Amino acid sequence: MFACSGSRHLETRLGGRAMEDLRAEAHKVDGRWQVELLLPAGRWTVEPQEGQACDLLPNEPRATLRWKVAPDRWAQQNRPFRFDLVGASGLRLSFSVIYPNSLPGGNAMVDVWRVLSGGK
């Protein structure tokens, strides 16, 4: 994922089919940034690669992933937040979030970047 105020997006393909664009919104809640990402359709579990607490809010057909980011963590562009989505069939999708180098003034759109690696 990549946080930005522009209109960038990435079309991800899975099995030759275009996946939905994943976009999240970030807004201030009690001095921290709360990011909410609408996940692709299906059942997913989330595996963050650092101690970031994430909430998975179930909904059909698409769940929402929510996490909060402290301002000092938001500013660490050299250390992206990485997490995996694991599907019921074992499919693993890895994602990366690079927060912007300055805090946006209000709401921010967060675009999702898929990390292409040797996963399933």
The pLDDT of residue 83 is above 70: yes
pLDDT on residue 50: 81
Domain spans in the chain, listed from the N-terminal domain onward: 2-7+21-115
Write the CB contacts of 65 (distance below 8 Å, at least 6 apart in sequence).
24, 36, 37, 39, 46, 54, 55, 56, 57
Query: CATH classification of 2-7+21-115 is 3.20.20, yes or no?
Result: no
* Top-confidence residue, 117 or 94: 94
The pLDDT of residue 112 is above 90: no
How high does pLDDT run on average in the chain?
73
Instruction: List pLDDT tens digits, range 69-79.
Output: 888 888 887 78
Tell me if residue 22 falls in helix, strand or coil. coil
Predicted model pTM: 0.69
